[in-house]
């Protein structure tokens, strides 16, 4: 079993670190808010006062941090990479820009450290159940080293060189965000047209319109359950990152741009900390309908 440093024990990170503890790995966790890391103590984890302390002696360091600037600050500004031993492996599982992941890989290689960008999809439920889709970019040897650990968390797949994991995650987030918007519009139309949205959702499942978004997020919309699994503000961040990367490649993505604008309104109107299915609330506001 591996010695693992785990950085970032928020909504998903805690569940991921818990699974690693329960699988028998030795986990030293750090979180900016210490009490969130202390939740691992009953599962056999330990808590570090600083991120570099969690990384010291670790074979693998996993980062599940908020964004690219946070990863940059913690890995390089707060001494994580400097504290890692030669040949250790850094796995960044946050959603960060492709170019940032590529630069982090370069700096890690220069320091004698392996690197994977391995963002995830599946939300809190996937983290809890160990069913996350894990999209990894990096060297095949580093991926094979990390695979037994990542397999505790879900289904790891190597999709290309450094940066490719985050590119795949951007594609994922485009599909997720755009589909959330379409499902919300469809259920709103069903409601206003006089049908039962719950019955419409049930009728659509199993047909060509079926999806994990219709099943999971559609149910959230019907039940008005917007307790966060994936935060709206993170969805906005990822869609803006996807649009910026597309522009850098000379691409225009009009659907993604439109939906990104909707999520910007979700955040602007105070729903940043709600689940991304709360886009339904924004559609209701736009149409002068009650927002429960």
Which class in CATH covers the domain with range 3-161? alpha beta
Express each pLDDT in 2-24 by its tens digit.
Answer: 999 999 999 999 999 999 999 99
Q: Do 3-161 and 167-286 fold alike per CATH? A: no
**List of the chain residues with pLDDT < 50:** none
- Residues 147 and 131: their CA atoms lie apart, in Å, by 14
- What is the per-residue pLDDT for 292? 77
Spell out the domain ranges in the chain.
3-161, 167-286
Which residues are the active-site residues? 169
φ/ψ bin of 25: left (φ > 0), alpha (ψ from -120 to 50), beta (otherwise):
beta
* Neighbour-count burial of 53, counting CB atoms closer than 10 A to its CB (0-12 exposed, 13-18 middle, 19+ buried): middle
- What is the per-residue pLDDT for 73? 97
- What is the per-residue pLDDT for 229? 86
Give the burial string for 209-248 (b: 16+ CB within 10 Å, else e).
eebebbeebbebbbeeebebbbbbbbbbbbbebbbebbee
Check residue 24 and report its DSSP letter. Answer: T
- What is the per-residue pLDDT for 261? 97
Which class in CATH covers the domain with range 167-286? mainly alpha
Question: CA dihedral in degrees (81, 129, 22, 234; nearest 10)?
Answer: 30
Cβ-proximal residues to 107 (8 Å cutoff; 6+ apart), any chain? 76, 81
Question: CA dihedral in degrees (232, 38, 65, 145; nearest 10)?
Answer: -130
């Amino acid at each position: 079993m591996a010695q693992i440093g785990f950085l970032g024990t928020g909504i998903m990170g805690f569940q991921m670190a818990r699974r690693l503890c329960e699988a028998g790995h030795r986990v030293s966790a750090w979180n900016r808010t210490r009490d969130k890391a202390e939740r691992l103590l009953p599962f056999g984890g330990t808590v570090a006062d600083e991120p570099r302390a969690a990384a010291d002696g670790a074979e693998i360091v996993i980062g599940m941090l908020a964004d690219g600037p946070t990863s940059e600050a913690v890995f390089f500004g707060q001494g994580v990479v400097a504290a890692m031993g030669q040949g250790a492996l850094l796995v960044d599982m946050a959603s960060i820009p492709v170019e940032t992941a590529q630069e982090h890989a370069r700096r890690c290689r220069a320091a004698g450290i392996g690197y994977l960008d391995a963002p995830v999809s599946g939300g809190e439920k996937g983290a809890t159940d160990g069913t996350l889709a894990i999209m990894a970019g990096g060297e095949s040897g580093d991926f094979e080293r990390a695979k037994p650990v990542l397999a505790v968390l879900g289904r790891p797949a190597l999709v290309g060189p450094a940066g490719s994991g985050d590119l795949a995650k951007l594609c994922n987030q485009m599909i997720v965000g755009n589909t959330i918007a379409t499902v919300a519009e469809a259920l709103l139309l069903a409601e206003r047209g006089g049908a039962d949205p719950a019955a419409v959702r049930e009728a659509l499942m199993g047909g060509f319109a079926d999806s994990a978004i219709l099943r999971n997020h559609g149910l959230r919309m019907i039940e008005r359950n917007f307790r966060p699994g994936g935060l709206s503000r993170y969805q906005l961040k990822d869609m803006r990152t996807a649009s910026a990367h597309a522009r850098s490649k000379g691409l225009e993505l009009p659907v993604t741009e439109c939906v990104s604008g909707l999520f910007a309104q979700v955040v602007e109107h105070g729903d940043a900390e709600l689940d991304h299915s709360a886009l339904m609330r924004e559609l209701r506001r736009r149409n002068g309908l009650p927002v429960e």
